[in-house]
Amino acid sequence: MITNNRLTPEQYAANFADIHPPFETHDAALVEANRCLFCYDAPCMKLCPTSINIPKFIKQISTENIKGSAHTIFSSNIFGAGCGKVCPVEKLCEGACVYNLMDEEAIPIAKLQRYSTEKAIEQKWKLFERKPSTGKKVAIVGAGPAGLSCAHVLSREGVDVTIYEKESKGGGLMTYGIAAYKVTPEFCEDEVDYILSIGGITVKYNRELGKNVSLKKLQKKYDAVYLSIGVGLTRNLGIKGEELEGVVDAIDFIYTLRDKGYSSVPVGDKVAVIGLGMTAIDAATQAKRLGASEVTIVYRRTHAEMPCTQHEMDIALLDGCKIKWLSAPKEVLGHHGKVAGLVCRVMELGTPDASGRRSPIETKEAFTLDVDMVIKATGQTPFIKLIEENELDNKSGKIVISNGCRTSVPSVFAGGDAVNGGKEVVDAVQAGKDGAKGILEFIGMWKAEVEPVYNNSVIALKE
């Protein structure tokens, strides 16, 4: 049966507690900071899409310069605090730490990053000054990581920024999508407020491009427009029974959980989750943590081709989720209009497809999972209708950009998930910085001295 309120408030609190708790004492942070070898070629920094100067900020922690450390991080990544919680560091900075080659624990870079940046947010440290207004005006559509990162760089340069956001809160998927045991909605709100505290950025909430905002009007009113609208809901499965009550979209499911609170989210007793990306893992683990007794992830390929990281999968396995490899959904069975089972086809692997992974091929074998809820997490689809209506060149709905992040429409720029089709928060933050650079060049405000302000790592490399 699908129902909400399965657990007590204490159980919800325990199930959704921070999966990576912060350092408990200052000394604990110092011990870890002092283990850093400050490698000459800093492989950790090379794998950070925003090029945070990691050795520098760790050195600043070890010399008790916490404010300087937060400044170093935020100069390259204004979402440095959130990224310290949500980045898949095992495949980024921490995965590149040389200690991994010595069979030693990698430096806990993300935890150290949180150590200084969370202090900065809590204590509202003012680390950046905005230049006086230049009178230049830029509109940004979407207040997610890409939009806010772009807004931050532009505002520091004295551009007046207006963000149009369709939801009533900022942060994008950081606020509405990422698992609650990684970031809480309260933290996201504080992070957005902190980013906006630089001034010069107005956010117009509940304003939606294509509904109550038009691109043509924005083009007329502003010197440039940056589109950072992300991607939309999950792809349809295209199978019989998909319309039954109890078949839900993973993004919708997580959105409700983040927006309305744990006890209000209905969850089945036995749940199947289709897909094995980060969204599937988040949907499966959170269904389990909401009180589902059995959660089975259905994936059509094998461990070698899975899109999530091993670390992510381990979270799901430790939560007791099961995985059915080489299995694809074939039909959702119903009873009185509600989900009563999921028929899956057994697959085998054929030759590599366009993604370079071996493609799944149906066999004649099938099996039925006894489930009362099916969560679809098979990748998000871009806002293709909106993009085509606005005559933006696109590839299957992903906005095409050229040098300087320009779209095919004059004075319109784009970045983040809307362009890359869905990566990580840290990629969106870098996209926002790149978009700001393209816009500053376009409006004649890009000067050599902007570069160090825009990217801290450049200063470091010059030193």
Contacts with ligand FAD by CB under 6 A lie at 86-87, 141-147, 164-167, 172-174, 177-178, 182, 208-210, 228-230, 251, 254, 278-279, 282, 386, 416-418, 422-426, 428
For ligand FAD, the closer of residues 193 and 365 by Cβ is: 193
Shorter beta-carbon distance to ligand FAD: residue 94 or 167: 167
Token output for 214 = 């038009």
DSSP readout, 357-405? SEEEEEEEEEEEE--SEEEE-S-BPP-HHHHHHTT--EETTEEP--GGG
CA-based nearest residue to 23, from 80, 84, 69? 84
- Supply 221's token pair: 């009113």
H or E stretch at 196: helix 185-196
> From its phi and psi, is residue 268 left (phi > 0), alpha (psi between -120 and 50) or beta?
beta
| Closer by beta carbon to ligand FAD, 229 or else 284 | 229
Backbone region of residue 341 per phi and psi (left: phi > 0; alpha: psi in -120 to 50; beta: other values): left
Q: Based on CB atoms, which residue is closest to ligand FAD, 200 or 416?
A: 416
CA neighbor of 202 nearest in space, from 233, 145, 161: 161
CB of 34 to ligand FAD, least distance (A): 28
| Shortest CB 447 distance to ligand FAD, Å | 27
Residue 348 CB, nearest approach to ligand FAD (Å): 29
- Residue 146 beta carbon to ligand FAD: minimum distance, rounded to whole angstroms: 3
Element (H, E) at 268: none
Is the CB of residue 225 less than 8 Å from the CB of residue 153? Answer: no
User: Rounded to the nearest whole angstrom, what is the least distance from the CB of residue 275 to ligand FAD in the complex?
Assistant: 11
| Nearest approach, Cβ of residue 21 and ligand FAD (Å) | 17
**Residue 157 or residue 167: which is nearer to ligand FAD going by CB?**
167
Shortest distance, CB of residue 183 to ligand FAD, whole angstroms?
Answer: 8
CB of residue 227 to ligand FAD, shortest distance in Å = 9
Tell me the one-letter amino acid at 324.
K
Residue closer to ligand FAD by CB (options 158, 404) is 404
Total Cβ atoms within 10 A of residue 330 = 18
**Nearest Cα to 255, choosing from 227, 238, 233, 276?**
233
Q: How far apart are CA 399 and CA 18, in angstroms?
A: 35
Nearer to ligand FAD, 125 or 191 (CB): 191
Rounded distance between C-alpha atoms, residue 373 and residue 295, angstroms: 10
Shortest distance in whole angstroms from residue 454 CB to ligand FAD: 18
Closest distance of CB 145 from ligand FAD, Å: 4
Per the CB < 8 A criterion, the answer to whether 344 and 298 are in contact is yes
Q: Which is nearer to ligand FAD, 147 or 438 (CB)?
A: 147
Residue placing its CB nearer to ligand FAD in the complex, 143 or 332 = 143
Choice between 212 and 368, CB closer to ligand FAD: 212
Which tokens hold the place of 320? 């007791």
Minimum CB distance to ligand FAD smaller for 172 or for 268: 172
Nearer to ligand FAD by C-beta: 1 or 19?
19
Q: Rounded to an integer, what distance in angstroms lies between the CA atom of residue 23 and that of residue 425?
A: 23
Least distance to ligand FAD, CB of residue 137, Å: 18
Distance CA 403, CA 416 (A): 15
Long-range contact pairs involving 247-250 (C-beta distance under 8 Å, separation at least 24): 247/332, 247/339, 247/373, 247/374, 247/376, 248/373, 248/374, 248/375, 248/376, 249/375, 249/376, 250/275, 250/279, 250/280, 250/282, 250/283, 250/375, 250/376, 250/377
Q: Report, in Å, the least distance between residue 295 CB and ligand FAD.
A: 15
Element (H, E) at 456: helix 456-462
Strands 327-335 and 338-352: antiparallel
